[in-house]
Amino acid sequence: MKKKKLTFELDNNPNSKDEFIAFLNSLAAKDIAKLMAVIKKTEKFGFETAIHMKWATEIEENLFELKPKVDHNIQRGIYVQTIDSRYVIKTPK
């Protein structure tokens, strides 16, 4: 049976989109590309693979950190919380 692809979304906070864009704008272009690649790969392959490949870490039950690696350095990542069957991006402050 084929795994269902994950779909990440921003939380319901009215400022979430602006906060996520501000976070992305604080990163170098290369870091944005790596972060977006990690998001897409995790959506496609799931958290089990993301953890195995070291794209993500499980912080606690239902909370993961996606951690892009740029030039041998792990960059500041984003958090994804599973809420029911949703995968909600929590922008770092």
User: In residues, how long is the chain?
Assistant: 93
Q: Which residue in 78, 53, 73, 76 sits closest to 63, CA to CA?
A: 78
pLDDT of 81 > 90? The answer is yes
Q: Name the phi and psi angles at 80, rounded to 5.
A: -125, 125
State the DSSP H helix or E strand holding residue 19, giving kind and residue range, or none if neither. helix 16-25
pLDDT tens across 23-64, in order? 889 888 888 899 999 999 999 999 999 999 999 999 999 999
Q: Name the residue ranges covered by the structural domains of the chain.
A: 8-90
- Global pTM value: 0.84
